[in-house]
């Protein structure tokens, strides 16, 4: 049984990840509570030895009024590959009919994304259990748009991560998975505020067996596919140093670090035995982002971690985006080949390489 509890504010002091686990839960139900601290009771006491997470990058199903003719079918080509107890995506926009766009009639290079509030249920029906709002589009329609998004997610039974002080905790049987999202903005969990980010990850590690950190960081576009190990800027903004932040997150207690934001895939590495994916690129965006050249590569990252957050296995599912931004599984593995080249160039012996069938194993 999968239970989702949204946690905001202070977390318990006991280190839950030290608890043993020994069996797989069956079935699924979802509840969402906020902002109260998590209850210690659960509808299921089934012990599980590990959890599998499926993660994708930036996603928004069009931008009203330009919306897919059948939103419910848009995830169909990747539905089977997404299926997992925990399914994560970065919500690059809002669910709202409220608020005023941040873009004015004279704005240039400004993008504001919104979908109907009913689309939250489309994500839930596709299998998503947690969506991240730590990015540069969660406040596209101001506070009313952000509040509408949170309400729509709660009604759909999807946990939300990434707003200030926000930690999503998902429970499968006795095993708890915390997801903490970060971006370089004051109205999200701010990755530029290192002391606060460190403390938030440490608090998540006290609350859960497994801690997943997401970062929306780095420059954007086809030329931004390498991890520079430097502070990256875009549109005059400090977009953080993804390399430093990912390593900081692991030292603070993250068991897995995933990312998007550059709108292109980046490499993978192992650091202290933990997998880091520096960008999962774009994912199913209906005419929202370019899909030319390397921008058409996308992926689903599937990772299994044990009850103490230790790496067990991972698989990289290569995707190709069609001209309208819809993702399709690519059996030829073009995205995996592209990422392997980046990983070797950027991380050398620490590179996490995708093998035949998409399997990822720690370097030997």
DSSP H helical segments within the chain, as ranges?
79-82, 119-125, 142-156, 194-207, 242-252, 334-347
Instruction: Tell me what percent of the residues of the chain surpass a pLDDT of 70.
Output: 88
Q: Residue 158 has what pLDDT? A: 98
Dist CA 213 CA 166 (whole Å): 12
Range in 2-6, 21-25, 59-63, 302-306 with the lowest mean pLDDT: 21-25
Above 60 in pLDDT, residue 319?
A: yes
- Number of helices followed by number of strands (H, E) in the chain: 6, 20
- Is the pLDDT reported for residue 180 higher than 80? yes
Greatest pairwise CA separation for the chain in angstroms: 59
Three-class SS of 258-322: EEECCCCECCEEEECCEEEECCECEEEECCCCCCCHHHHEEEEEEEEEECCCCEEEEEEEEEEEC
Q: What is the pLDDT of residue 40?
A: 36
Query: Would you state the pLDDT for residue 172?
Result: 84
Q: Where are the domains of the chain?
A: 2-360
Residues 252 and 198 sit within 8 Å (Cβ to Cβ): yes
Mean pLDDT computed over 317-324: 96
Q: pLDDT category, 16, cuts 50, 70, 90?
A: low
Residue-wise pLDDT tens digits, 150-179: 999 999 999 999 999 999 999 987 899 999
Q: Is the pLDDT of residue 222 over 50?
A: yes
pLDDT of amino acid 4: 57
Q: Looking at domain 2-360, which of 3.40.50.1980, 3.30.565.10, 3.60.21.10, 3.40.640.10 is its CATH number?
A: 3.60.21.10
Asked whether residue 306 carries a pLDDT value surpassing 70, the answer given is yes
pLDDT (tens digit, 9 = 90+) per residue, 244-285? 999 999 999 999 999 999 999 999 999 999 999 999 999 998
Position with higher pLDDT, 1 vs 358: 358
**345-352 mean pLDDT:** 98
Do the Cβ atoms of 17 and 210 come closer than 8 Å? yes
SS3 label, residue 106: coil
- Across all residues in the chain, what is the average pLDDT? 89
Q: Is the pLDDT of residue 21 over 80?
A: no
Q: What three-state secondary structure class fits 185?
A: coil
The pLDDT tens digits for 94-124 are 999 988 999 998 888 889 999 999 999 999 9
What percent of the chain is predicted at pLDDT more than 90? 77
14 vs 307: CA distance, rounded Å: 15
Residue 232 has pLDDT above 90, yes or no: yes
Q: What pLDDT is stored for residue 30 in this prediction?
A: 34
Mean pLDDT of 33-55: 61
Q: Which pTM was predicted?
A: 0.89
Q: What pLDDT is stored for residue 12 in this prediction?
A: 36
Average of per-residue pLDDT across 15-34: 34
Residue-by-residue DSSP string for 120-146 = HHHHHHTT--EEE--STTTTTTHHHHH
Cβ density class 291-325: b for 16+ within 10 Å, e for less: beebbbbbbbbbbbbbbebebeebbbbbbbbeeeb
Q: What is the pLDDT of residues 212-221, one digit of tens each?
A: 999 999 999 9
């Amino acid at each position: 049984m999968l239970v989702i509890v949204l946690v905001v504010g202070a977390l318990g002091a006991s280190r839950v990840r030290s608890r043993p686990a020994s069996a797989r839960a069956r079935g699924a139900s979802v509840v969402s509570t906020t902002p109260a601290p998590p209850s210690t009771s659960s509808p299921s006491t089934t012990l599980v030895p590990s959890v599998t997470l499926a993660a994708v990058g930036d996603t928004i199903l069009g931008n009203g009024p330009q919306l897919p003719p059948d939103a419910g079918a848009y995830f169909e080509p990747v539905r089977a590959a997404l299926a997992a107890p925990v399914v994560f995506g970065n919500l690059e926009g809002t669910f709202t009919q409220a608020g005023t766009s941040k873009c004015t009639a004279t704005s240039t290079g400004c993008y504001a994304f919104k979908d109907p509030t009913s689309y939250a249920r489309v994500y839930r029906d596709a299998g998503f259990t947690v969506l991240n709002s730590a990015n540069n589009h969660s406040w596209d329609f101001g506070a009313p748009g952000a509040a509408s998004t949170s309400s729509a997610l709660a009604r759909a039974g999807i946990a939300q991560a990434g707003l200030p002080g926000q930690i999503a905790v998902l429970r499968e049987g006795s095993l708890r998975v915390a997801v903490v999202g970060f971006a370089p903005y004051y109205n999200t969990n701010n990755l530029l505020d290192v002391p606060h980010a460190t403390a938030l990850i440490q608090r998540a590690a006290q609350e859960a067996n497994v801690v997943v950190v997401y970062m929306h960081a780095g420059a954007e576009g086809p030329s931004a596919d390498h991890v520079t190990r430097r502070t990256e800027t875009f549109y005059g903004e400090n977009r953080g140093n993804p390399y430093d932040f990912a390593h900081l997150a692991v030292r603070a207690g993250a068991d897995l670090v995933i990312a998007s934001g550059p709108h292109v895939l980046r490499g993978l590495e192992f650091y202290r035995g933990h997998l880091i994916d520096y960008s999962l690129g774009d994912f199913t965006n209906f005419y929202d982002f370019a899909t030319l050249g390397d921008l058409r590569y996308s992926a689903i990252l599937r990772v299994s971690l044990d009850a103490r957050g230790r790496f067990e296995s991972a698989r990289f599912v290569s995707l190709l985006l069609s001209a309208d931004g819809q993702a399709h599984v690519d059996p030829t593995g073009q995205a995996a080949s592209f990422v392997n080249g980046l990983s070797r160039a950027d991380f050398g012996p620490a590179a996490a390489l995708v093998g035949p069938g998409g399997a990822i194993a720690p370097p030997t």
